[in-house]
Structure 1
Amino acid sequence: MKLLALETANEQCSVSIVDEDQTLYFQCDPRAKAQTQTILPLIEQGLQETQTELTDLTAIAFSRGPGSFSGVRINAAVTQALAWANDLPVIPVSTLQALAQAAYRELGLREVTAVLDARMQEVYMASYQLDDQNIMQAIDEEQMLDYVQGATYQKFTIIGSGSALIKADLESYPQITAHADDIATIARALAKKQQWLSAEMALPVYLRDNAWKKIADQGKP
């Protein structure tokens, strides 16, 4: 098994290639909003360094959102194009789940409420617990909530870019950001069970139905 994992939903770009047991390649470009310039070169670099052809892959995993509107769209579009062209299945992974997985990887937290800034005085959030395979699993639904609603939706330690927005007296934690390695960790467990989808199902999840209009209202492209 060999997986390509992509993460651009957090306004940065990272790419990982993994097999059943280990990470073979990982690179992250932390520059905000540079995903369109960096994602394809990072993929090409990873394939070259691991001597992998796209047709050698078992599946392509990607962060499907919620998150940065343009970042989620880029991730889904690149995944769908590569998977379609090479007859590969896809594994969509929640950005919030990947953030929870990063909290376990970096801090050893086993129960978290993942919160991302959704702008417009709203947050994306859901809560997760570690299972016996060391994968963070959702225990409630992903929601887009205002700050007051978010404060009541919290179940565990809150982590992520929206944490301070819903709780002013938040205990200080290091900034946690999900990377492609976290996408790959979750996707590996799913791939072992052949839990993947066809290329046309590489679709973004926004949680905001009129995302185009609201982003335009914020003065964003």
Structure 2
Amino acid sequence: MKLLALETANQQCSVCMVDDTQDVFFDLDSRARAQTQTILPMIEQALLQANIPASELTAIAFSRGPGSFSGVRINAAVAQALAWANDLPVVPVSTLQALAQAAYRLAGLTAVTAVIDARMNEVYIASFKLDEHGIMQAVDQEQLLSYDQAKTVQSFTLVGSGSVLVDATATEHQGIDATAQDIASIARQAALQQQWVSAELALPVYLRDDAWKKIPEQGKA
């Protein structure tokens, strides 16, 4: 198996390729809003390093949101284009699940409430627990909530950029960010069970109906 994973749903951009057991390629560009400049060269480099054409990939995985509107849209568009052009299946991965997976990878946490700053005094939130395959699985639904509402649904250790918006003391894990490595870990397990979709069903998830609003219209949290 060769699976290509893409992550542009937040501020950074990263690409990871994995086989059945290990990472084959990983690259990260942490510059804010540089996704459109870096995602395609990163993909090309991953294919070159693995020495395979895109058509020989098993599947493409991408972070499908919720998250930055532009970042999610870029991720979905690139994943769909690659999948259509090469007749490949796609594994959409929740950005919140990827954040939870990052918390396990980086901090060894096995039960977390993942929280992403959604601006407009709201957060994206969901809780996850580690399964027997080492994958963080959802124990409730993804939601877009106000800060006060989010406080009532917090189940486990808070992680992610929205942590301190829900609890001002929850500073320890607010800096954890998901990368394509976390997308790849989740998607690898799904791909082994052929849990994927066709390109036309690889759709972004925003959770907010007015996600199209520009940043100045949204306001700062």
Flag whether TM exceeds 0.5 (same fold). Answer: yes
Structure-1 residue corresponding to 2:75: 75
What is the aligned-residue identity percentage? Answer: 68
The reply to whether residue 115 of structure 1 matches residue 110 of structure 2 is no
Query: Within 5 Å, which residues of 2 pair with 1:1-16?
Result: 1-16=1-16
**Moved >3 Å (runs of 4+):** 213-216
Query: What is the alpha-carbon distance in structure 2 between the residues aligned to residue 119 and residue 11 of structure 1?
Result: 14
Query: What is the alpha-carbon distance in structure 2 between the residues aligned to residue 198 and residue 184 of structure 1?
Result: 18
Partner deviation per Cα, 1:113-171 (whole Å, 9 max, x = no partner): 00000000000000000000000000000000000001111000000000000101225
Structure-2 residue corresponding to 1:207: 207
Shift of the alpha carbon at 1:26? 0.1
User: Alpha carbons of 1:145 and 1:174: their partners in 2 closer, same or farther (altered >3 Å)?
Assistant: closer
Q: What letter is aligned with 2:142? A: E
How many pairs were matched up?
Answer: 220
Query: What is the alpha-carbon distance in structure 2 between the residues aligned to residue 213 and residue 15 of structure 1?
Result: 27
3-state SS of 1:76 partner = helix
The reply to whether residue 129 of structure 1 matches residue 129 of structure 2 is yes
Query: What is the alpha-carbon distance in structure 2 between the residues aligned to residue 52 and residue 174 of structure 1?
Result: 37
Partner deviation per Cα, 1:42-101 (whole Å, 9 max, x = no partner): 000111111021011010000000001100000000000010010000000000000000
User: Alpha carbons of 1:109 and 1:97: their partners in 2 closer, same or farther (altered >3 Å)?
Assistant: same
Structure-2 residue corresponding to 1:191: 191
Query: What is the alpha-carbon distance in structure 1 between the residues aligned to residue 10 and residue 217 of structure 2?
Result: 20
Query: What is the alpha-carbon distance in structure 2 between the residues aligned to residue 35 and residue 173 of structure 1?
Result: 24
RMSD (Å) for aligned C-alpha atoms: 1.4
Q: Which runs of 5+ in 2 are unaligned?
A: none
Q: Which runs of 5+ in 1 are unaligned?
A: none
Query: What is the alpha-carbon distance in structure 1 between the residues aligned to residue 27 and residue 155 of structure 2?
Result: 33
Given that 2:164 and 2:174 are in contact with CA atoms closer than 8 Å, whether structure 1 keeps it comes out as: no
Structure-2 residue corresponding to 1:36: 36
Query: What is the alpha-carbon distance in structure 2 between the residues aligned to residue 90 and residue 170 of structure 1?
Result: 35
Given that 2:159 and 2:174 are in contact with CA atoms closer than 8 Å, whether structure 1 keeps it comes out as: no
Query: What is the alpha-carbon distance in structure 1 between the residues aligned to residue 24 and residue 89 of structure 2?
Result: 20
3-state SS of 2:83 partner = helix
Query: What is the alpha-carbon distance in structure 1 between the residues aligned to residue 111 and residue 166 of structure 2?
Result: 18
Given that 2:61 and 2:92 are in contact with CA atoms closer than 8 Å, whether structure 1 keeps it comes out as: yes
Query: What is the alpha-carbon distance in structure 2 between the residues aligned to residue 44 and residue 166 of structure 1?
Result: 40
Q: What letter is aligned with 2:155? A: K
Query: What is the alpha-carbon distance in structure 2 between the residues aligned to residue 38 and residue 81 of structure 1?
Result: 16
Structure-1 residue corresponding to 2:179: 179
Query: What is the alpha-carbon distance in structure 2 between the residues aligned to residue 202 and residue 216 of structure 1?
Result: 29
Partner deviation per Cα, 1:186-214 (whole Å, 9 max, x = no partner): 00000000000001011100000121136
Q: What letter is aligned with 2:46? A: G
Shift of the alpha carbon at 1:216? 6.5
Query: Within 5 Å, which residues of 2 pair with 1:78-89?
Result: 78-89=78-89
TM-score with structure 1 setting the length: 0.96
TM-score with structure 2 setting the length: 0.96
Query: Within 5 Å, which residues of 2 pair with 1:13-28?
Result: 13-28=13-28
